[in-house]
């Protein structure tokens, strides 16, 4: 539980760092839909592999009715925190446990969501060029398009490694940023990777 605030701070720091500058420059300096390698950014539909599906066999349903969202998670995962705008579930274990952290951030109705989501993509692309991200793509989950990226293995085995998906939606009369982070330690990530992707791609979301 002591790790959860740290994960939240780190995740949001990485996601929102220099966003204002990116919002100003993304429409002029980047082409929408470009991947880290420069290829056309085709949107993929969430399609779990057999291993990712198998990792959730016999699992349980996580329901966040207040936000109209749900997931399938491994049977032994447990709820760690639940608020109106934040949900946290974790696998058993300590240093190598896996975590699901979902944050909802309401925005002004006039907020430029298209420019913002492109800025998040461009930020992840810069991190990819710097060797900090090893997977980056547009992924549609339950009909909602978002940016998905995975951090590269940290230098230290106990460093945090994240799989993150971000998207905007309109829900309950609000424009919202949905920021979903699945994480584990660098040493624990390979063990949890299939179940984390499985959880992400199982998401059902009202939008």
pLDDT in tens, the chain (207 residues): 444 443 443 444 444 444 444 444 443 333 333 334 334 479 999 999 999 999 999 999 999 999 999 999 999 999 999 999 999 999 998 779 999 999 999 999 999 999 999 999 999 999 999 999 999 999 999 999 999 999 999 999 999 999 999 999 999 999 999 999 999 999 999 999 999 999 999 999 999
**What CATH code is carried by the domain that includes residue 197?**
3.40.1000.10
Contact between residue 13 and residue 164 where contact means Cβ atoms under 8 Å apart: no
Tokens read off for 69:
């969202």
Q: Considering its fold, how many domains does the chain have in total?
A: 1
Interacting residues of 38 by C-beta distance below 8 A, sequence separation 6+: none
Range(s) of the domain holding residue 169: 3-29+43-205
Q: Report the predicted TM-score, pTM, of the whole model to 2 decimal places.
A: 0.82
């Amino acid at each position: 539980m002591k790790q959860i605030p740290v994960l939240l701070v780190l995740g949001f720091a990485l996601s929102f760092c220099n966003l204002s500058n990116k919002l100003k420059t993304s429409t002029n300096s980047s082409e929408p839909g470009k991947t880290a390698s420069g290829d056309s950014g085709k949107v993929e539909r969430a399609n779990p592999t057999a291993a990712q599906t198998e990792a959730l066999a016999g699992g349980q349903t996580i329901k966040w009715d207040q936000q109209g969202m749900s997931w399938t998670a491994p049977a032994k995962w447990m709820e760690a925190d639940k608020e109106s705008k934040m949900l946290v579930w974790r696998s058993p274990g300590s240093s190598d446990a896996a975590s699901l952290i979902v944050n909802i951030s309401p925005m002004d109705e006039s907020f430029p969501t298209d420019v913002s989501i492109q800025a998040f993509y461009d930020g992840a692309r810069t991190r990819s060029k710097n060797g900090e991200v090893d997977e980056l793509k547009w992924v549609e989950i339950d009909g909602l398009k978002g940016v998905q990226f995975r951090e590269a293995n940290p230098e230290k085995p106990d460093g945090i490694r994240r799989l993150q998906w971000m998207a905007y939606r309109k829900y309950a009369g609000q424009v919202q940023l949905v920021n979903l982070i699945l994480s584990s330690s660098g040493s624990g990530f390979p063990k949890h990777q299939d179940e984390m992707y499985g959880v992400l791609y199982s998401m059902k979301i009202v939008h």
